[in-house]
Structures are given as structure tokens and as C-alpha cells.
Structure 1
Amino acid sequence: MITSLDGRHFAAVAEVAGGEVDTQTVFTYHEQDGMIWADYAGGAIRRGFLVGTRDGDRLDFRYTQLNTDGQTSTGHCVSTLSLLPDGRLRLDETWQWESRPGSGTSAIVELA
């Protein structure tokens, strides 16, 4: 099992159709006793927060964010954690908006 996410920083691999997170968005994760949370900002996101749980290499969380146009959005995401050959972490995500139509997949990787 991969060690704690606490204090690790991640960024999106690429822009995703239907999403607002892009390669300029930086996530700072925290973890304690199976609970995970993060704050994120950058690119089209002024401020975002997520909170949920971790079970092994699976994360399940809800997110809420404010974009640069002043719109708020919420959604649900399930992510799978993996270890890259260079030792960094990667999260492969399947997400769905709850406050508006849309869903997709994306990936974020740990910043070096």
C-alpha cells in the first residue's frame, strides 16, 4: 500500500473536457486516520476543497469549488492511487458533477 498523501502536492496531467481543473491547478492533500482532504487553486479555479475517505489505494470524496467567473460547483469523485516508476504518486479519477450535468475521467500527478 502507498504511504500517506499528507502534505503532498499534485497537478493535473492535462485539461479535461467538461471539467474546470487544468494543468495550472495545484492540489495540496492531507490525510489522517482514513480521512483525506485537500484544497486547490489555479487556472480556472479560484478556490476548491475536497473531503472524503481513503480505503487502501481508493479515494472517495466530494468536492466544491469557485471558478474565476464567480460560479460555484459541486461533485463526487472516486480515484485510484498508483506509484509511478520515478517514485511520484498518480491519481486516476472518475468524477461527476452534482450541481450541473457532466462527468469524466482525469489524472493528477505528484509534483516533483
Structure 2
Amino acid sequence: MNDKDLLNGRRFAMVSSTSSSVDADAPTEFAYEEAGGVIWGSYAGDTVEHGRFVGTRDADRIQLSYVHLLRTGERAAGQSSSRIEALPDGRLRLVEEFQFAGDDETHVSVCTELR
């Protein structure tokens, strides 16, 4: 998956997470931009009011730092490492391992590309 700017303009929705339940009717949605292996974007939905991320992609691996405001008014920040997988229908899936700042526990989430 070395396609130049592979994630640019793609949108994903969270389908599962080990850190919380996912609202299937209003999941967190992520909007990705990419230029030359640098990635940035935003996300919102479910328990997240507003979030931002920035990072890099090398082949099928993504490294990100993120921060978001929860609907409760609390803030969360951390880092993640994702693997990009191709689905049989041509969409992409992101399998992410992440840690919240100040938390030693590793969580896993899965997002699938929206069409």
C-alpha cells in the first residue's frame, strides 16, 4: 500500500473499540487528509464532540497523535499506531492500537471506510 496520498479525502466510521461501546447509529467518523506521507484530519460523533489528529503513513502503517473534546466536557489525548487493510469490496479498514495520555493500557479500535 504505497499509493501516494492513499488516505487523502477518505472517511471512516468506528465499528468497534475496546475502550468503550460504539453507537452503531451515530459512530465516531474520521475525515483523513494526506500529502506526501503526512496525515491530518478531524473526527466527531458518538462520545466525541470534536477531535483532531496529525501523523505519518509509511506503506500500510500509520502513526498518529490526537486530542479530542468529549461531550462530557473532558479532554483526551494520546498516540496511536494503525494498520491499513484492504477489504474485499475495495474499501479500507484501519485497525488501531492506541493509548490515552497517562494510561498504560493499550486499546484497540476498528474503523471501516465510508462510501
What residue ranges of structure 2 are gaps of 5+ in the alignment? none
| Counterpart amino acid of residue 18 in structure 1 | S
| Counterpart amino acid of residue 67 in structure 1 | L
Please give the TM-score of this superposition, normalised by the length of structure 1.
0.90
Aligned residues: 111
Please give the TM-score of this superposition, normalised by the length of structure 2.
0.87
Task: Confirm whether residue 18 of structure 1 aligns to residue 19 of structure 2.
Answer: yes
| Counterpart amino acid of residue 43 in structure 1 | D
Shift in Å at residue 76 of structure 1?
0.5
Shift in Å at residue 21 of structure 1?
6.5
What residue ranges of structure 1 are gaps of 5+ in the alignment? none
Deviation per CA, 1:15-51, whole angstroms, max 9, x where unpaired? x232487541110000001100110001100000110
Deviation per CA, 1:30-73, whole angstroms, max 9, x where unpaired? 00011001100011000001100001110001010000001111
Q: Secondary structure, in 3 states, of the residue corresponding to 1:6?
A: coil
Whether contact under 8 Å (2:19, 2:108) holds in the other structure is: no
Task: Confirm whether residue 53 of structure 1 aligns to residue 56 of structure 2.
Answer: yes
Q: Secondary structure, in 3 states, of the residue corresponding to 1:13?
A: strand
Sequence identity (%): 41
Q: 1:33 to 1:20 in 2, by over 3 A?
A: farther
Whether contact under 8 Å (2:8, 2:32) holds in the other structure is: yes
Whether contact under 8 Å (1:20, 1:45) holds in the other structure is: no
